[in-house]
């Protein structure tokens, strides 16, 4: 599955030992198969020639994480309807949220990417790397262990359900309401649409009176618009 020798080409033996120690500290357990985690942390921007990167594991981890969060919400809110559960899942696993969690975890410190590219340091590749890491844990430890790990390391320390519930369930409507009161116009414009790892990635802007205010990225237009609306509300200071 992985190029078992690529870390030897990147790191010396001492550096590799440090890398694996830092990985164990971040995970909270000793991996059975280090190579799958090394692959999960390897971004395609790396200058060194490698056979594979973490995109396939990101695809798997995205599906596993979405399933685990859906099950968590289903059990936590036994009387809530589908719309509420869908909105909560979107708040928990959207691209910006996962990137913020990855940074708080320190995943950017051990990720293997082109560190000379300054733009990558402020990008959302670390949220993608977190998804790949979940995929690696699933392959290495199985579904049940991954479920416990996600709860212990992602949901409990980084996602307050009370705070997420208090966020307006339809931020687009909130933004539309503010715009209408100001006598302005609002539209959500698709700026880009491209294939990324076999999925369509949309970039959508919240545009007020013809001026782009914010952008959001997502694998469907609804999520991208939601993120753009949330960013616009924050930027405009709307209560």
DSSP symbols for 124-178? SHHHHHHHHHHHHHHHHH-HHHHHHHHIIIIIHHH--HHHHHHS-S-HHHHHHHH
pLDDT, position 1: 45
* pLDDT computed for residue 69 by the predictor: 97
Q: Residues of the chain whose pLDDT is less than 70?
A: 1-12, 47-50, 121-122, 167-170, 197
Catalytic residue numbers? Answer: 62, 131
Confirm if 182 and 192 have CB atoms less than 8 A apart. no
Q: What is the pLDDT of residue 5?
A: 58
Residue 166: closest CA among 71, 88, 70, 227: 88
CA 221 to chain centre: 16
**Which residue, 60, 45, 223, 28, is CA-closest to 136?**
60
Please give the DSSP secondary-structure letter assigned to residue 42. B
What pLDDT, on the 0 to 100 scale, is given for residue 6?
61
Q: Which tokens go with 134?
A: 């979940």
Residue 52: partners with Cβ closer than 8 Å, 6 or more residues away: 1, 2, 3, 39, 42
Q: Give the pLDDT score at 47.
A: 67
Largest CA distance in the chain: 64
**What pLDDT score was predicted for residue 218?**
82
Whether 77 and 85 have beta carbons less than 8 Å apart is answered as yes
pLDDT of 169 reads: 54
Q: Is residue 27 within 8 Å of residue 99, measured between CB atoms?
A: no
**DSSP element (H, E) containing 39:** helix 34-40
What's the pLDDT score for residue 163? 85
CB 57 within 8 A of CB 132: yes
Mean pLDDT, the chain, integer: 86
Q: What is the CA radius of gyration of the chain?
A: 19
Q: What local confidence, expressed as pLDDT, does residue 77 receive?
A: 95
Domains and CATH numbers, the chain: 6-166 (1.10.1520.10), 171-236 (3.30.160.20)
Residue 151, token pair as written in the block: 């709860």
């Amino acid at each position: 599955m992985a190029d078992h020798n690529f870390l030897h080409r990147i790191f010396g033996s001492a550096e590799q030992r440090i890398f694996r120690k830092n990985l164990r500290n971040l995970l909270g357990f000793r991996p059975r198969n280090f190579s799958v985690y090394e692959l999960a942390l390897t971004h395609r921007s790396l200058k060194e020639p490698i056979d594979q990167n973490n995109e396939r594991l990101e695809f798997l981890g995205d599906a596993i994480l979405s399933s685990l969060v859906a099950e968590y919400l289903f059990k936590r809110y036994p009387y809530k309807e589908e719309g509420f559960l869908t909105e909560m899942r979107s708040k928990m696993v959207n691209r910006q949220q996962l990137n913020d969690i990855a940074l708080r975890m320190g995943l950017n410190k051990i990720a293997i990417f082109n560190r000379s590219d300054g733009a990558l340091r402020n990008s959302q590749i670390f949220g993608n790397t977190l998804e790949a890491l979940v995929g690696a844990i699933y392959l290495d430890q199985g579904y049940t262990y991954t479920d416990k790990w996600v709860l212990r390391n992602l949901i409990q320390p980084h996602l307050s359900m009370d705070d997420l519930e208090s966020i307006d369930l339809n931020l687009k409507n909130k933004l539309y309401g503010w715009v209408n009161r100001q006598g302005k116009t609002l539209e959500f414009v698709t700026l880009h649409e491209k294939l990324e790892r076999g999925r369509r990635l949309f970039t959508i802007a919240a545009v007020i009176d013809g001026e782009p205010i914010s952008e959001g990225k997502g694998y469907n237009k609804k999520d991208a618009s939601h993120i753009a609306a949330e960013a616009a509300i924050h930027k405009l200071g709307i209560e």
